[in-house]
Amino acid sequence: MKIGAFAERIGLSAHTIRYYERIGLLPRCPRDGGQRRDYDASALPWIAFLTRLRRTGMPIRDMVRYAEWRAAGQGTEAERRDLLVRHRDRVRAHVVDLQACLSVLDAKIAGYGDPPPSEPQHDTDTSHRRPVRPGIARPG
Amino acid sequence: MKIGAFAERIGLSAHTIRYYERIGLLPRCPRDGGQRRDYDASALPWIAFLTRLRRTGMPIRDMVRYAEWRAAGQGTEAERRDLLVRHRDRVRAHVVDLQACLSVLDAKIAGYGDPPPSEPQHDTDTSHRRPVRPGIARPG
DNA sequence: GCTTAACGTCGAGCGCGCTCGAAGTCGTAG
DNA sequence: CTACGACTTCGAGCGCGCTCGACGTTAAGC
C-alpha cells in the first residue's frame, strides 16, 4: 500500500505521515525496491493509538519518548506505563473541567431564551421545549 | 486595581490582558488619570467566561465575534446564542471522544500490568488493586 | 529630589503541529 | 516514446495564542 492510499485510509496527509516518520513517531517503514514506502495493515493499530494520544492532547515530544521506549522493547514497560498513567490523569482532569464548563455554557445559553422560530425547524415537534420566556438582559 | 494585581488575581499575565484588550476581547478599560488601566471586580465575570471559552477550545476569532456582539448590545442575542450552541455541541462531542480515548488508555495501561512496588507507595493499602498478573507482551 | 518599580506602546519572536512547494525520480498507461 | 501522476527529500512557511523585550513615562516611597 503506497503512502497516498495509506494516508487516505488513516485520515492523515502523506506529508504528515512522512513528518511523523522523520521525527521518530513512526518506525522507518519498508520500501518497495529500496525507495518508496510500502505500508501494510500491521501499521494501523500503532497509528490509531498515536492519533488517540494526539486527540487527547499529548505533546508530540511525549509521543516520541513513548515511541522510543516502544522501539527499545523490553525493559521500558514501567516508563511507558508511567507516561500513559500521567497522561490519563491529565485527560481525566480535563474532562472534568470541560464538563464544568459545559454546565456554565448551558446556563448561559438558557439565559438567552429559546431561539426565534424564524426558520422552520427540521424537528417540528416543539412539545419537549420549555415555554418561551423573554430573556432577561444579562452581562454577556 | 492595577493591571499587575488584576493579572495575578485572574491567572493571566499583564501582557496577555493587554493583548486581549488590543484584539477586542476586552473592552477598553478605564484609566486612572488618563493613562494606566484601573480594573475593578465588575470585569471579573466576563474574563472568567472568556477563559472558559478558551479552555473549551473556542478559537480566539470566535471569542472576538462574540465580544463584538456583546458590545453591540441588544439585537445580537440570536447570533450570540447560535455561536454558543454550536460551540457547546463541539465541546460535547469532544468530551465523548475523550471518554472513548480514556477507555482505550485504561485498557493499554492495564495491559502493562501493575507497576513494580520498587518505590514504597504513599497509599499502602493495596487491597483494592486487582491481583498482579504478569503483563502479556503486546504491540505498543 | 531621587530612586525604583510598575506601567505604557510597539513590534518582533516563539513553540507547537503541521503544511506546503520545489525539484527531481520512477513506473505505468496510451 | 512520451506523458503523467504519485512518489522522494529538503527546508521554508503558516496559523495559533500568546510572550517578551526595548524603551520611555509616571507615581510612590524614602
**Is residue B11 included in any domain, yes or no?**
yes
pLDDT for the residue A129: 47
Handedness of CA B10, B12, B14, B20 (dihedral sign): negative
**Is residue B128 included in any domain, yes or no?**
no
Give the tens place of pLDDT for each residue, A93-122.
Answer: 999 999 999 999 999 999 998 777 655 444
**CB-based contact B49 A140, cutoff 8 Å:** yes
d(CA B89, CA A78): 38
**Is residue B57 included in any domain, yes or no?**
yes
Q: What mean pLDDT is predicted for residues A75-89?
A: 97
Burial group, residue A81, by CB count within 10 angstroms (0-12, 13-18, 19+): buried
Contacts of A84 in chain B (CB under 8 A): 105, 108-109, 112
CB-based contact (8 Å) between B82 and chain A? Answer: yes
**Is residue B21 included in any domain, yes or no?**
yes
In chain A, which residue's Cα lies nearest the Cα of B87? Answer: A105
Quick one: cell of B119? 518505590
pLDDT for the residue B119: 52
Q: What mean pLDDT is predicted for residues B109-134?
A: 59
Domain that holds residue B9: 3-111
Q: Which of B56, B82, B85 sits opposite A101 (nearest CB)?
A: B56
**Is residue A23 included in any domain, yes or no?**
yes
Residue B120, CA atoms < 13 Å, CB-side half-sphere: 2
Q: How many domains does chain B have?
A: 1
d(CA B79, CA B85): 10
- Separation of CA B67 and C1' D25 in angstroms? 31
If DSSP codes are grouped into helix, strand and coil, which group holds residue B50?
helix
Q: What mean pLDDT is predicted for residues B102-106?
A: 98
In chain B, which residue's Cα lies nearest the Cα of A42? Answer: B139
In chain B, DSSP assigns E strands to: 31-32, 36-37
Q: From the centroid of its chain, how far is CA B120?
A: 34
Residues 6+ apart with CB under 8 A from A3: A14, A17, A18, A36, A37, A39
CB A83 within 8 A of CB B128: no
pLDDT tier, B134 (very low <50, low <70, confident <90, very high otherwise): very low
Burial group, residue B126, by CB count within 10 angstroms (0-12, 13-18, 19+): exposed
pLDDT tier, A138 (very low <50, low <70, confident <90, very high otherwise): very low
**Is residue A137 included in any domain, yes or no?**
no
What CATH code is carried by the domain that includes residue A74?
1.10.1660.10
Asked if residue A80 has pLDDT above 70, the reply is yes
pLDDT for the residue B114: 78
Number of Cβ within 10 Å of residue A25's Cβ equals 21
Tell me which protein residue sits closest to nucleotide D20, measuring alpha carbon to C1': B15
d(CA A12, CA A4): 10
CB B3 within 8 A of CB B37: yes
Give the tens place of pLDDT for each residue, B12-35.
Answer: 999 999 999 999 999 999 998 778
